[in-house]
Structure 1
Amino acid sequence: MSRPRVVVLARPGAGRDRTEAAVQEAGAALVAVLDPCSVGVDALQSAAPDVVLVVLDPVIESALGSFDAVLADPALRVMFDDADVASKRDGWEAARWMRHLAAKLHGHADVLPVAPDPDAPQGLQQEMEALALQVAAMPSLKPAPLQAPDQGQGAVVISAGVGGPDAVRQILGGLPQDFSRAVLLHQRVAGGQYDKLVRQMQRATTLTVSLGQPGEVLVHGQVYVLPDLVDVQQSGDSLVLVATDGAARFAGLRAADTAMLLLSGADTALVDVALSLRLGGALVYGQAPDNCFDPATSKLLVARGGEARSLAEISRLLLQRWPA
């Protein structure tokens, strides 16, 4: 099998250097490293890549507009990373990222070993032991539902964290412009840079993406990035974003009209919420561990009776529930 041809789009710096090294260690052919601030689309096209890995920072985001037509080519795989995060990745975290990158570049599922290995790095053993303890410590699900009564409206909730942006882009990219539900993106962001996340996600979808604000009435076919301390509740016939003193728990959503997707790095505290919504008829899926950088929450969901599906299958099931 031939090695995938990869072009890295990034500005000079530690993030770019570490990304170059990760691509090479992952066994791909690094055919070009381009700064989109100083080269044009022709340079990217002439490299004839199979994959483009974009290392994002605010300057790169501004420069990507002229590359949009090429990056939108369905024959080209486009991946994104954050320059600041990439520059700080080292040790075990860098090794895990390289493994995840190799899985995505080569299209296989070998992201993390499925069980602790005595010869594995200490960080992996600790991670797997911690996951086992989390599963064992989870309380039994109480029959009383957390969600609102079966009245009012629902929404599509997407929760993600470390390793989640690419998965979120894939889900959003599969939704039509006239999608008939609002989408709430619960994405953990370092430093609370949610405006940056809004710009990144707008590139992935034809839906309007905005930063959700307390008091805002949800509109079908729009994506709302939820900052910290913002939740949702029913107000008459509408869903309204509200300020809260804790994490969002989505208790105001009508379960039978809701989907909750727990993607890579999602908050483990949402497993109870998701399973309770599922009891009321919601679509609830975790991201399948294949090509999932951080599958801990999906594994907890499955361990407690939920399901994990591929991103392609999740997209299909969403459109089956809410056809255009």
Structure 2
Amino acid sequence: MKMLINAAIAAGFTIVGAAGTVFAEYPTKPITVVVPYGPGGAADLAARIIGNEATEYLGEAVLVVNQTGAAGVTGSTMVAKGPKDGHQVLMSRVGSQATVPAMNETIPYTWDEFTMLGIVELNPFAIAVAADSPYQTFEDLAAALKGDEKLTYSSAGVGTLLHMASLIVIDDLGVSSDAHIHVPFKGGGNATAAVISGNADFIFHNLSGLIGGIESGQLRALVVTTPERVDRIPETPTATEVGHPNLNTVVGWSGVWGPGGMDQEAVDTWVATLESLKNDESWNAATAELGSIPTVMSPEETRAFVEQQFNTFRVVADKLGMVVR
């Protein structure tokens, strides 16, 4: 009964005088959620949780399809240029929807041409060093970055969010981008291992990718990009606490996007569905289990949040001459 009631609410209906009830038509078939990255990653897992839980509110099956390529651009383009009826939506991510558009103006879409239905989760970032690192606090690391010694920082590759994140730290400290050495790896896991093994001095990475090393004692977190301290690492200060609130723009996220000009009925249905998930215990528990923070934003809040992040990335990329035009 709950499924039927919620499906009807999500789909919406109007009473038309004596003619009776006229039910809205969306959705009329299964909905495809396009993931612009491969299976098993953060975007894929978030999409599958949405698929499992949102079906109850949408009244139709939700199918997850991985459309990889070009750092998320291939799958994102598929949705941006696809049908507007709401039966194909995007599992958006910070990389494909903010970082890449900020650094590359030649891709087939802009950051703001999508219909932003809502961010659904945040993936805070943390700066971490090896457990035996001489840098005990963020202030220690900041002093070293401002000094004469060349430090090394690891990332998942040139132009990735992890790379951009470290450049934002260095820039926020008023230090030249070439004052320290970038060590790129294939993937965040290898980049994290480099810090643990002493082959890089620090990393600025998704907390979900660091938490295992932190809790096992292999890594020390120096700062986290959340408004409040994280329960699992309560001793780690926030970026605001250490006097660098600009670092709070470095945060991963997942959201549900449609193409620009998406059918309004489909928009309303998805917004209502995401609002329902906000109070859904099963969805909240599954999202938190991944190390993410369940955070459902309205379309308006989402657009403002992404715009601020895009602008931050663009300023840094412009300053470093990294924008492809």
TM-score by length of 2: 0.32
Structure number with higher relative contact order (C-alpha < 8 Å, ≥ 6 residues apart): 2
Larger radius of gyration: 2
**What TM-score does the superposition give when structure 1 sets the normalisation length?**
0.32
Structure with more of its chain in helix, by fraction: 2
